[in-house]
Amino acid sequence: MEQEVVKRRVVVTGVGLVTPLGNTVETTWSGLMAARSGAGQITKFDATNFPVRFACEVKDFDPLKYVEKKEARKMGAFTQYAIAASDEALADSGLKITGENAVDVGVYISSGIGDFWGIEREHLKLLRGGPRAVSPFFLVSILANMAAGQVSIRNGARGPNSATATACAAGNHAIGDSFRIIERGDAIAMICGGAESTITPMSIAGFAAMRALSTRNDDPESASRPFDRDRDGFVVGEGSGIMILEELEHARRRGARIYSEIVGPRQTKHRAE
């Protein structure tokens, strides 16, 4: 006989951003509406001798607004960005995580590589000072799943927790997988998105060696032109973008503001014996 699989509808009820245009949704949106570019000369390290000397850096970000100093030392910048964006997204959604619903709220925040800065910094320490110079927080700060883990701990979300390391598609995969998790009934809400902080010497040097980056050092603000016939490469960026995805009826019951619905592929009937 034929049995129709019940699929729950999934909506977006909150958003949060840390970007090269601003450290909130409002400032980022204002920058976009003003046609402002987030690209500029690299300030995170001396790029004087690099073939590419510009990127899209997050600016004026203070992690101590979100976490205590001793905790910040254990985190890579990508995790700090994810915490800030998740705080904003949760506040925007009005979703309260309590003892009653914690197991039904999950976190899925992906990253292409995790804390690339930590990898380079601690490797340099190893070369200069030997194994005892490496920080005990090294591994727990660089792993790509640490943003999801830290956001989960911070908010008491005890539902599904994961992260994919799928390069530039990592954030999209996090959103898509979170949609499926809610759709099949394994969670009522997911904190999901991506976070990255890879404007480092090795990263820029590596992408430049591949000839993958734009070399418009004299005009970085117009360098990112993906659909232009004169495109000469991409521009490395950093930051975090987080969404709160929620099962439609749950969102309605609590009176949440709904931004949009994620529809996905057309529902089909499955044959069951």
> Cβ(197)–Cβ(81) under 8 Å?
yes
C-alpha distances (whole Å) from 150 to each of 108, 119, 167, 176 are 11, 19, 21, 21
Domain 2-262's class? alpha beta
Q: What is the pLDDT of residues 116-157, one digit of tens each?
A: 999 999 999 999 999 999 999 999 899 999 999 999 999 999
63-79 residue pLDDT tens:
999 999 999 999 999 99
Q: Phi and psi at residue 54, in whole multiples of 5°?
A: -140, 160
Per residue in 154-213, pLDDT tens?
999 999 999 999 999 999 999 999 999 999 999 999 999 999 999 999 999 999 999 999
For residues 39 and 223, is the Cβ–Cβ distance under 8 A? yes
**Angle of CA points 201, 207, 212, to nearest 5°:** 150
pLDDT of residue 264: 73
Coil, helix or strand for 183? helix
User: In whole numbers, what is the pLDDT of the chain averaged over residues?
Assistant: 94
Assess contact for 84 and 61: CB atoms under 8 A.
Answer: yes
Q: Is 114 left (phi over 0), alpha (psi -120 to 50) or beta?
A: left
User: How far is C-alpha 153 from the chain's CA centre?
Assistant: 17
Sequence-ordered list of residues with C-beta below 8 angstroms from that of 240, at least 6 positions apart, any chain = 16, 17, 18, 78, 81, 82, 84, 85, 86, 109, 147, 193, 194, 195, 196
Residue 263 phi/psi, 5° resolution?
A: -90, -45
Q: Whole-angstrom Cα distance, residue 208 to residue 210?
A: 5
